[in-house]
Amino acid sequence: MAIVYVDNKPCEMNPEENLLHGCLSNGFKLPYFCWHPALGSVGACRQCAVTQFRDENDSHGKIVMSCMTPAAEGTRISIADPEAVAFRAGIIEGLMLNHPHDCPVCDEGGECHLQDMTVMTGHDYRHYEFEKRTFRNQNLGPLVNHEMNRCIQCYRCVRYYADYAGGNDLNAFALRDRVFFGRAEDGVLENEFSGNLVEICPTGVFTDKTLKQHYARKWDQQFAPSVCVHCALGCNTDAGERYGTLRRIVNRYNHEVNGYFLCDRGRFGYEFVNDERRFRQPLLKGQPASAASARRYLDEKIAQGRVIGIGSPRASLEANFSLRTLVGPDHFYSGMADHEGKLIRLMIEILRRGPVRTPTLGEIEKSDAVFILGEDLTNVAPRMALSVRQSVRQQPMEAVKKLKIPLWLDFGVRDAMQDAKGPLYIATLHGTRLDDVATATFHAAPDDLARLGFAVAHALDSSAPAVPQADDWPLANEIARALKGAKKPLVICGASCGSEAVIQAAANVAMAAHAALSFTAPECNSVGAALMGGKPLSAAFQAVRDGDADTVIILENDLYRRAPHAEMDSVLKAAPHVIVLDHLPNPTTEKAELILPAGTFAESDGTFISSEGRAQRFFQVCMPENEVLASWRWLKPDHWENLDDVLRATAEALPQLAAIRDAAPSSKFRIAGAKIPRSPHRESGRTAALVHINISEPKTPEDPDSALSFSMEGTPDQPPAALIPFFWSPSWNSIQAVNTYQKEVGGPLRGGDAGVRLFEPSPKNGQAYFSAIPAAFQPRENDWLLVPMYHIFGSDELSLQAPAIRELAVMPHVAINSDEFAEGMEVEVTLADGTFRLPVRIHREMPAGIAAVSVGSPPLLAVQVPGWGKIARAK
């Protein structure tokens, strides 16, 4: 660490960083705009000015930008120097010249970085008397709102969107004091990470359009730390609600997982929680019933015995375990389709046994050679795609370092790096949105993808099995060389191809290359559900068909997404009693005799295990309305009183899950005897919320399950990472307050980031290479091999219920490379499960004989893919 004198006070700073970073890490209130810990410094706004002195004798000094000055040993600066203070106030004055008097009507108000910095500089009087420049706003789609008059030209938006996220439909237009940030013309922002603009923009130019539909100020919301439910990566979020309506999702910083960014599905997919079709009370034989009568009915069925329970990979561990306890382990069934469960278990086994290690998303950014086998990351594990996009900068960084350019000097690094990219090889069936930064892509059927993987492993280590007839595969050799020459090689794979061989091939590569290995998984608790175990789902159906089950309890799972329509119809018809716990109507709930209204992530506490094997706890944002209850509370035995009891019982019964208790402090945790408030201390209207029902002030709801309170009252201190409902510090009302929670800005949260990793194998572990190498794919004359295709907007069950996501959802289609069909043509796809009518999209990069079909939204919810089928022009 270097010693830098700030107003004559010696402070420790990281000499590889700049002075702004150092000052903020030391807790100084130094205003800034254009710098961002994830984006580095460019020196545009000039807000972070400090006075720098040559030495102790220099009493005059000169103004420098702290973000552009290295925190070198012995540097002397002053933040309080009057000239610097006046200059910084002058900058705010310059920004406010054209800024509209929007605060009262601006969504950003109350969490606005511009507001905070204005107050911080002390500028408070408008001397400007001329006209302000104004703009026409654009409609950028249903997610991000555009209000250009508020722009302070800090350039953060385009740097994030284009440079960091790889988008090319947002840029700066014109110049001087009327730079316009937008698209060439109105239209939906194309990048899947556009939502981060609402946090990146320090003013109200880019704001959350979904929040606007039901707006509340940050200080008026009640928050809770949560975990995204829309894929398996487990990005940390904070969910904000008011008066029982979930208002929005914001990023909750986790250095190891999502860092500063979310994907658009995670940020904007929450609206299903507010859907008016939500079950708010039990429905018994189609009629609303009281909780008491519902419970009576449930108890009756349990007492009668011969009850089976089907769990879910989108329900929490606690919910799954409660069901398992209720029905007994012998009658508890996995909620995943058999084949999918097998793949997940295979992936878990590989990661648990080692020796390869699964990296964090943060570590993925630092990988310097990446091989993606069979995964369309942007659509399946979007946040990972964003990390991989950063990883291709790692190897070129070495050349930049030789030029002695500090890595935080963003444009200097980019100018030095030009278009150089580190090795990224993407082997998938069809093109992906990461292809623009790939060294090479390879498009083939799953078996051939597996063969490529096996060949790479063999090229790395001749003791790994060779691929017959593919001994010297140039691409395999090239990939092997790239992985071998890297310091932090990474292999990425997953269950998307539906192929065991692909997963095994990836494992072979990782072992041979001594690389890290990341697996993606379909749902937010796929890994947790797999670890919990349970009999195969097909066995549950068989039990029903055999007449061995009188009651089937289905937990948060639309089985029509797991098995063909006809099969589900017959199974559910055959089951005498069907009890379903879920949030929204779906084909399975249609068949239920009793529907129990299950709390969503916003109304429940629970634990998910991400595809990284990280156990993370999410907490309810508000007390659910009406009879909505966390699923585990519907199903638990009476003697479990709170979440801690469930966790204890889970850990005792399933030692492989014991560590989940450490994912967050227990309900007994206090800071100086006080709970952690879910609301900022300025929250208003809490006691008036029910005044229209009862004039007497209600008692604050109690939360027996966590250390959080449903109130603004509690400790003012910073909670541990797993319990942070919102980021706020004195003077920092905006998301920039995250700085004050980190030991070093941009680094881990103080006290460690949230979550507990379950898979940390010893690198000494040996594991034999997998050797079941499939034969090369052979196209068939009249049939097509149909493989699943996923869409970030469209394939995820819950987010698709959000109107904004539905608007963006890709129309389900068939992707194919064929001269037989034309773009847009309607075809009929015939599989074992039935015939489906879909439009065609021509993908010239795909191999012959194979087609990809959109899955996850009607009509193809649970197709048996991969599988052979026919495709014919529709009549």
Where do contacts with other proteins occur on this chain (CB under 8 A)?
Answer: 42-47, 49, 62-64, 68, 87, 90-91, 94-95, 97-98, 127-130, 152-153, 155, 168-179, 183-185, 403, 405, 409, 411-412, 415-419
Structure tokens at 868: 């052979």
Nearer residue to other proteins within complex by CB, 99 or 843: 99
Least distance in angstroms from the C-beta of 63 to other proteins: 6
Q: Does 288 sit behind a cis peptide bond, omega within 30 degrees of 0 on the bond before it?
A: no
Structure tokens at 75: 């540097």
Nearer residue to other proteins within complex by CB, 30 or 68: 68
Nearer residue to other proteins within complex by CB, 128 or 215: 128
Least distance in angstroms from the C-beta of 8 to other proteins: 22
DSSP-derived letter for residue 441 is E
Nearer residue to other proteins within complex by CB, 41 or 795: 41
Name residue 599's amino acid.
Answer: G
Least distance in angstroms from the C-beta of 327 to other proteins: 55
CB neighbours of residue 409 within 10 Å: 20
Nearer residue to other proteins within complex by CB, 90 or 747: 90
Nearer residue to other proteins within complex by CB, 405 or 874: 405
Least distance in angstroms from the C-beta of 419 to other proteins: 7
Nearer residue to other proteins within complex by CB, 187 or 685: 187
Nearer residue to other proteins within complex by CB, 179 or 440: 179
CB neighbours of residue 875 within 10 Å: 6
Nearer residue to other proteins within complex by CB, 185 or 823: 185
At how many degrees (to 10) do helices 446-460 and 500-513 cross? 20
User: Which among 45, 4, 54 is positioned nearest to 26, based on CA atoms?
Assistant: 4
Least distance in angstroms from the C-beta of 50 to other proteins: 12
What is the maximal distance between C-alpha atoms in the chain?
Answer: 92
Nearer residue to other proteins within complex by CB, 91 or 621: 91
Nearer residue to other proteins within complex by CB, 173 or 215: 173
Least distance in angstroms from the C-beta of 177 to other proteins: 4
Phi, psi of 771 (to 5 degrees): -130, 5
Nearer residue to other proteins within complex by CB, 414 or 535: 414
User: Which among 826, 798, 824, 812 is positioned nearest to 858, based on CA atoms?
Assistant: 812
The Cα–Cα gap between 180 and 196 comes to 19
Alpha helices in 592-686 (DSSP H): 631-635, 643-653
Nearer residue to other proteins within complex by CB, 398 or 546: 398
Phi, psi of 64 (to 5 degrees): -130, 160
Residues 6 or more apart in contact with residue 748 via CB below 8 angstroms: 255, 256, 742
Q: How far is CA 722 from CA 236, 359, 676, 707, 753, in A?
A: 9, 20, 11, 11, 7
Least distance in angstroms from the C-beta of 41 to other proteins: 9
Q: What is the full DSSP assignment across 73-105?
A: TT-EEESS-HHHHHHHHHHHHHHHSS--S-GGG
Q: What is the full DSSP assignment across 675-724?
A: PEESS-TT--STTTTTTTT-SSPPPPPP-TTSSEESSS-S--SPPPGGG-
The Cα–Cα gap between 147 and 250 comes to 20
Q: How far is CA 427 from CA 368, 456, 492, 587, 645, in A?
A: 17, 12, 10, 36, 46
Which sign, positive or negative, has the C-alpha torsion 814, 820, 826, 829?
A: negative
Residues 6 or more apart in contact with residue 431 via CB below 8 angstroms: 441, 443, 843, 845
User: Which among 763, 647, 755, 754 is positioned nearest to 706, based on CA atoms?
Assistant: 647
Nearer residue to other proteins within complex by CB, 16 or 697: 16
Residues 6 or more apart in contact with residue 158 via CB below 8 angstroms: 170, 171, 172, 181
The Cα–Cα gap between 839 and 833 comes to 19
Q: What is the full DSSP assignment across 220-272?
A: G-EEEEEE--SSTT--EEEEEEETTEEEEEEE--BTTTTBT---HHHHHGGGG
Least distance in angstroms from the C-beta of 73 to other proteins: 18
Least distance in angstroms from the C-beta of 397 to other proteins: 14
Least distance in angstroms from the C-beta of 181 to other proteins: 10
Nearer residue to other proteins within complex by CB, 126 or 277: 126
